[in-house]
Amino acid sequence: MTSAHQKVVSIHPSRNPGLPLDLDEVLRHRVNRSAVETRARSLSGRRSVKKQWQAAWLLKAITCIDLTTLAGDDTEARVRRLCAKALQPVRPDILQQLNVENLRIQPGAVCVYHQFVKTAVSALQGSDIPVAAVSTGFPAGLSPLSTRLSEIKHSVKAGAREIDIVIERQLVLTEKWQSLYNMIVKAREACGEAHLKVILATGELGTLNNVARASMIAMMAGADFIKTSTGKESVNATLPVSLTMVRMIRRYHELTGFKIGYKPAGGISDAKTALQYLLMMKEELGNDWLQPELFRIGASSLLTDIERQLEHCVSGHYAAYEHQPLV
């Protein structure tokens, strides 16, 4: 371990302070795609948990959702409805029948465009649900850097406690690792006390090797979370990509002692898939990563399916989707 690594471990603040860019560490990582895909199939091929155990896992999944609306036709009214759902994610009668009405079941955050941060903060007033803002020219990340950094600062000033930034994919594809590192460091500085979630847009990075290297660079640059996708790419979160990223999180923890969060996003719309991701986190990283401080699922329609599954647990019947609208 280098002296720089030893210094970080000895300080050990609550947040990841990052490391100097170590390209030897970054470039040493090569992913065995066949082995990763085999492991992913083992996760997706398992039977789901049932009955009260399923209900318990689904309630845990709700607490790890970043409840999200990132549509081109978003309005203040839609954001307020989303926030109302965040404050009461499951019908009270279902919680009562599950005997969990005294538990604080709420999503990890509400995620919106910068324009709607103030609306969301106002609608969530009195709760401790944080607002996350997508910034830095989401979803492409190609606006001038000064504009992207300014957007981060304005989102934080408006009340966002978490910032989801996007990287420039071409920096990965052309192996401009120092430029990628520098960009994320500046974004972290612009965040101040707000937590930084770095979106890698993994569906556009070409290889799992690139995913692994971009993950490590983001953590070295000070990311609090690494995230798969914007939800706008043709390929979003997948289990092979997720396994690659969480194993880099494990490696970073081995190097520094710091725990970095993970957020898959895009395409996780049903309870069964959400449980696969929870199982992956438990088996690959341990129970500490089953908390919203270290694991989030970026989703919109997922909560609707989870609520339907919970109603089935207590009644034996599935509600129609229109009976449990999200927004």
Which candidate in 85, 118, 197, 263 is catalytic?
263
> How far apart (Å, rounded) are the C-alpha atoms in residues 230 and 266?
7
> How far apart (Å, rounded) are the C-alpha atoms in residues 296 and 293?
8
In our burial notation (b when 16+ CB lie closer than 10 A, e otherwise), range 253-273 reads bebbebbbbbbbbbbbebbeb
Is 227 labeled as catalytic in the residue annotation? yes
> Which residues on neighbouring strands pair with residue 68, listed in sequence order?
111
Structure token pair of residue 112: 């919106």
Structure token pair of residue 192: 């101040």
Is 93 labeled as catalytic in the residue annotation? no
What is the residue whose two structure tokens read 């030897």?
Answer: 24
Q: 234: burial class by Cβ within 10 Å (0-12, 13-18, 19+)?
A: exposed
Helix%, strand%, coil% for the chain, nearest 5: 50, 10, 35
Which candidate in 85, 118, 197, 227 is catalytic?
227
Q: Which amino acid is at 313?
A: C
Is 263 labeled as catalytic in the residue annotation? yes
Which candidate in 164, 197, 224, 305 is catalytic?
164
Residues marked active site are found at 164, 227, 263
